[in-house]
């Protein structure tokens, strides 16, 4: 087994998603998705990268950023392993934030084990969004291939322009695609994405409206069950 591998027994059934997990994905996935798109376009655009976890750095092109190993996936066992629980990195400074993230995620049953199975509604990007979403510093994440899966690396000191409001079409796409992933709270998805990308968000008779810096208003409407029924911009 390689640095990012650890044998576990196969799990044949998928348990229902917990309320805590659904709430966290509803709050953070769409917001982080937009930031990650900007991060990919503005920072990772060259495709050239090099991570030196011993030094705690990752390089994109000629730009160096502080880096921490959050965790890794295995394409062999289809599992997630938190970075601090990987025997190859245990106790090293590069997994300090992984251990802190693991402690933060103890209230979310799906993420509360050192290693657990992945599935369609629980993948590396879902996990990373829950970890990165609540942070107020300039942190993104990067998923890099290891040969037997992917290493999820937290990238710090990201330029502030990555966190600028996303374009309106990207916001609408993020709302639509996020609520289509799995059963989520549509109102939470919409309100958090607009709050992160609009100068002001207000309630309306049937939903919310976000005033975007472009001058456009983004309107989201919900039914009596808080399911989204329409979205528009103008």
pLDDT above 70 for 9 = no
Helices (H), 82-184: 96-104, 124-132, 168-179
pLDDT above 50 for 220 = yes
Look at the block and give the residue holding tokens 């990752």: 58
Look at the block and give the residue holding tokens 């190859």: 88
Query: Which residue from 182, 191, 217, 221 is spatially nearest to 205, judged by alpha carbons?
Result: 221
Q: Where are the domains positioned within the chain?
A: 19-162, 165-233
Tens digits of residue pLDDT in 109-165: 999 999 999 999 999 999 999 999 999 999 999 999 998 999 999 999 999 999 999
Q: Which residues contact 53 (CB under 8 A, 6 or more apart)?
A: 67, 69, 89, 92, 94, 153
Collapsing DSSP to helix, strand or coil, 131 comes out as: helix
Tens digits of residue pLDDT in 187-212: 999 999 999 999 999 999 999 999 99
Q: What angle do CA 87, 73, 29 make, to 5 degrees?
A: 125
3-state helix, strand, coil in the chain (%, to 5): 35, 25, 40
Where residue 13 falls among pLDDT bands split at 50, 70, 90?
low
Tens digits of residue pLDDT in 46-103: 678 999 999 999 999 889 999 999 999 999 999 999 999 999 999 999 999 999 999 9
Kindly state the tokens that stand for 191. 């309100």
How far is the CA of 77 from the CAs of 56, 115, 177, 186, in angstroms? 27, 11, 28, 32
**pLDDT for the residue numbered 15:** 79
d(CA 174, CA 31): 8
Dihedral of alpha carbons 150, 152, 157, 161, sign:
positive
> Are 136 and 121 spatial neighbours (Cβ–Cβ below 8 Å)?
no
**pLDDT for the residue numbered 2:** 47
More confident: 106 or 11: 106
d(CA 106, CA 151): 21
pTM above 0.85, yes or no: yes
pLDDT above 60 for 4 = no
Kindly state the tokens that stand for 159. 């330029």
């Amino acid at each position: 087994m390689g640095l990012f591998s650890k044998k576990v027994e196969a799990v044949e059934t998928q348990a229902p998603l917990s309320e805590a997990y659904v709430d966290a994905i509803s709050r953070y996935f769409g917001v982080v998705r937009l930031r990650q798109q900007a991060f990919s376009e503005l920072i990772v655009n060259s495709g050239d990268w090099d991570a030196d976890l011993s030094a705690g750095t990752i390089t994109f092109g000629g730009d160096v950023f502080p880096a921490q190993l959050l965790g890794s996936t295995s394409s062999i066992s289809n599992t997630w392993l938190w970075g601090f629980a990987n025997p190859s990195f245990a106790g090293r400074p590069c997994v300090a934030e992984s251990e802190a993230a693991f402690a933060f995620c103890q209230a979310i049953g799906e993420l509360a084990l050192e290693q657990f199975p992945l599935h369609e509604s629980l993948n590396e990007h879902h996990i990373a969004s829950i970890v990165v979403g609540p942070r107020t510093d300039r942190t993104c994440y990067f998923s890099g291939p290891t040969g037997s899966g992917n290493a999820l690396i937290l990238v710090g000191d990201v330029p502030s322009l990555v966190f600028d409001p996303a374009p309106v079409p990207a916001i609408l796409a993020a709302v639509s695609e996020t609520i289509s992933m799995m059963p989520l709270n549509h109102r939470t998805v919409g309100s958090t994405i607009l709050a992160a990308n609009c100068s002001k968000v207000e309630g309306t008779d049937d939903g919310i409206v976000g005033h975007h810096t472009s001058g456009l208003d983004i309107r989201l409407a919900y039914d009596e069950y808080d399911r989204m029924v329409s979205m528009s911009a103008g």
